[in-house]
Structure 1
Amino acid sequence: MLTDLLSFLSSSQVVSWSVFNCGIVGEENMDPFYQTGPIYMKQPDLENLMQKVAGIQRDLEDFKQKLLQSIHRLEDAYCEISRTLADQEEQAAKVKQRLREEEDRGIVRNKVLTFLLPREKQLREHCRWLEHMLLMSGSCEGQGSAKKISGN
């Protein structure tokens, strides 16, 4: 469309604003923003205008390229962030699993200790009772029985 406008401009000396309006807006059946009469241009003015339009077209192409590069960089950054997030989620799941296993081991330890501590207390009491009985039997039998025990 822009090349058609440029070729039209180079072949004609009289240009009306509505031609530019339709070319910029992109639809011939739209009403222009405002109407003006014909604009009479000399050939150098027309060439200047064509150079400006070509410059704007180059700037637009440069802008498109920079925009595409920026979009690609954003996509790459998004992929990198997604990979990092997935790795962190996986690591978090492993840590949670290890914590669960450690908690399970702690629960088992507590159950074992809960079982063993009263048994230890009972055994200590039983040992004290046996020592007491041994001492009591030794004092009742006198010196002879103590020598028998120490001789064994």
Structure 2
Amino acid sequence: METLYQAGSVFMKVNTLQGKKMVESGLQSGDFSLPPSWPSCLPPAADLEMLQQKVAVVQRELEDFKKEVLPAIQSLEEAFCELNGALAQQEEQAARVRQRLREEEDRGVVRNKVLTFLLPREKQLRQHCQRLEGLLLGRGREALVPPKKIQAH
């Protein structure tokens, strides 16, 4: 598949498959020079020199770009690691808080059970203490008789 492309004022015949391979290998190696199999379609020397200068500028810009981007990527990686560390710390704290809440809820359930048991017992003990107090103060036999329950008719 050969197509005509215009570079400046010169038309060039380009083998696109070979061009793609050249660009891929050039991008990987950083070498944008033309392969030896292309001498038949080379533009005049002045145009070639201008193209080579442009390629050199692009290569320098690519290197400058790499120099700027690599530190930025490293900085992002460091920030990402810090954020992951902070997130892990927050998750640990949240797990500890959930555990404490569960423990507190468990203690609350136990307290409620104890209170449920103790409150009726306290009422019984108060009544018993009142009867004993009555005996002590000399009310005699009336204090020994448990209080009558009032029944609704």
Question: Same fold judged by TM-score > 0.5?
Answer: yes
Query: Which residue number corresponds to residue 126 of structure 2?
Result: 124
Query: Which residue number corresponds to residue 100 of structure 2?
Result: 98
Query: Which residue number corresponds to residue 3 of structure 2?
Result: none
Distance 1:94 1:71, change over 3 A: same
Q: Does 2:50 align with 1:55?
A: no
Work out the CA distance in 1 between the residues paired with 2:60 and 2:16. Answer: 20
Letter in 2 for 1:17: M
Q: CA deviation at 1:59?
A: 0.7
Letter in 1 for 2:139: M
Query: Which residue number corresponds to residue 136 of structure 1?
Result: 139
Q: TM-score, normalised by structure 1?
A: 0.59
- Is contact 1:16-1:39 (8 Å) kept? no
- Map Cα deviations across residues 37-74 of structure 1 (whole Å, 9 max, x no partner): 9675464x544333222111101112223332232222
Query: Which residue number corresponds to residue 76 of structure 2?
Result: 74
User: 1 or 2, which has the higher helix percentage?
Assistant: 1
Equivalent residues, number = 116
Query: Which residue number corresponds to residue 113 of structure 1?
Result: 115
**Which protein shows a greater Rg?**
1
Gaps of 5+ in 2: 1-9, 24-39, 143-153
Q: CA deviation at 1:18?
A: 4.0
Larger RCO (CA under 8 A, 6+ residues apart): 1
Query: Which residue number corresponds to residue 147 of structure 2?
Result: none
Distance 1:111 1:138, change over 3 A: closer
Work out the CA distance in 2 between the residues paired with 1:26 and 1:20. Answer: 10
Query: Which residue number corresponds to residue 25 of structure 1?
Result: 20
- Is contact 1:17-1:38 (8 Å) kept? yes
Q: TM-score, normalised by structure 2?
A: 0.58
Letter in 1 for 2:98: K
Distance 1:58 1:27, change over 3 A: closer
- Map Cα deviations across residues 3-37 of structure 1 (whole Å, 9 max, x no partner): xxxxxxxxxxxx86346978863349xxxxxxxx9
